[in-house]
Chain A
């Protein structure tokens, strides 16, 4: 793990963790805003529904009041107090009725009487009811006229006059910017009798129906309801809440006939306060989650860097140990070779023993070389040491070094050298590549009893092929053999030692040298290399970039 590689890796991980923290927090924030918005809408709607229900209750109460009045008039209509004096007496005694009118079956005014001079109040009554005298039919035909159904009506249910049952109804009209109401009915003599309600008394009756101001009910107290007349003036307002000049009303209910042009409006502070509390809660929640996930990410990051440090220490340790192994290994090999030089020709047994020491120390050297190359601290910036040389020299040298081991396993070597041009190459790297390939042949393909090595040069490309005639490599294994630590078979019965990094390193080195290491497709790839006689062998092709070197 080089330092540069580490930094970028650390950065990548830090960036990833940051993303893991920020993304959910961001999403959470977004959803939170959406939810708060929705919740606000829901609360608003609930409040509207609630206040609407409240207004409807009030509207129903008002409607019921008029119905009660209507019922009372109809019951009193059976009393025949319809002569002038009787009516006047009734008017004087009645608290609700201001005036009355009677129109005969022939359409003539019966009361107030035509022939006598009327008192002021009756004269004013006649004046403000002039429209009725002109055309009494407007009572029953005007759209503003109608009988209320016996059952309490919903606000929108029509109370339009019934043409056949046109026996009674309410008539409302404006006079001097004031709303006046008349309840009329036809008696048994087909006379039309109308009773004008006293507006003040009517208002007082209506107000008495409204919810009491300053009740213990918080909801009612914190809201405010207004009764608005046809001119948009506030007739009456109750509730503690003081709405602003331009405040949006919670809900509005137009009243039904006979107060058709009036409406009820409701104001309330409720949903503004609710929304504010939600915002605070949401921000707090997101903050807490961000804090928690940030803490978790920091913890993970720390753990990771610690792991990395430990791993790096291990790699450094392996490096250190491998380097320390080199000096004793050099001595073993060098002294074995020195001893071999001292031997007389006839000391074959001793020569053989020494060749084992030499061969094994070479194997150990290759192993250390592979481990170091694999765990190299500078993998990213491994440099080639290009020097003029001949590819064939290196090939021959490698095979010579392996000869004792190959002989011991009865593997015959066929060598075809056609790469004798002086080129720029890193002999050490090439040696390590070939060592890995040849040692594989020695380890895994001894059953083929033959190894073919050939080299060819074409332009600045040198190709070296190492072919064995062992069990070969099954097609399904062919992609994986270059992966580190992958071994085709780790069965103990194979009795073959190895680390599984050789081919990976070889390919890495070949690529470092500007070429590639490939497993040539055999003519007849085997599916099961363990089967007897299935062996077709494996052929590895090394192609290297070798620029020609001047003499």
Chain B
């Protein structure tokens, strides 16, 4: 999934890119309003993060232009001032959510997951849409664990587990190849993408975190098992 991030502060922009990339999205960064509009038209992102105070064109104007061509794409505003948010809501620009500075990564992640769920559920309901073929709506069962990919959630008994887009992709890959060994490169290419720059620890760390979420005992996993020197295997 592609996310367009329009933010004039370079560090915030890059930081947001890193946050959403770690979640499994493909971020694109624009540093002013004009560029944001150009990139929206050329890249057709599935989610837009818009700072309000930007050079050339402010967030309100960009949102208005986007809504002229696309009524459905989720738009999340970023602002430092509650007055600006009041205005966003007052203008009825069709904003889906907003994030107030200063924010933490968890807050950003929660908002993005929320709009992603709405987007994916919407996709599942309209079968004609072919925008995101990677995520299926079928329920994945790993023993006691049930994974609902389109809701970015899993359930173990009564316990609900929030998952990232990448977590769901990994679990889908493992589910598709139940009983088979998936080597590290395949998993990396499938779930991170070929052009994702990373080191070898990225995959291990992510699997480690995912195990903490879904396994009963992360030290002795039985959903994501390590095949030493090769990769991972389910079952």
Contacts and interface: CB of A to CB of B under 8 A. Distances in A.
A365 interface: yes
Given A344-B205, A365-B102, A326 B15 contact: no
B27 to A, nearest CB: 13
A331 B11 contact: yes
A154 to B, nearest CB: 94
**Interface size for chain A: under 10, 10 to 19, 20 to 34, or 35 or more residues?**
20 to 34
Contact of B104 (A326, A344, A362, A368): A362
Closest 4 CB pairs of A and B: A330-B102, A329-B102, A337-B105, A326-B101
B26 interface: no
Contacts of B22: 338, 341
B105 A323 contact: no
A333 to B, nearest CB: 6
Contacts of B208: 345
B80 A337 contact: no
Contact of A334 (B81, B100, B104, B201): B104
Interface string A351-378: 0000000100110110010000000011
A309 to B, nearest CB: 21
Contact of B80 (A327, A341, A358): A327
Nearest to A341: B22
B104 A338 contact: no
B104 A327 contact: no
Nearest to A331: B11
Contacts of B81: 323
Interface string B1-32: 00000000101100110110010000000000
Question: Interface residues of B: mostly helix, strand, loop or mixed?
Answer: helix
A330 B101 contact: yes
Contacts of B19: 334, 338
A383 interface: yes
Interface string B46-76: 0000000000000000000000000000000
A330 B205 CA distance: 25
Contacts of A365: 102
A383 B201 CA distance: 46
Contacts of A378: 83
Given A323-B81, A335-B11, A428 B100 contact: yes
A440 to B, nearest CB: 21
A249 to B, nearest CB: 83
Nearest to B89: A385
B80 A323 contact: yes
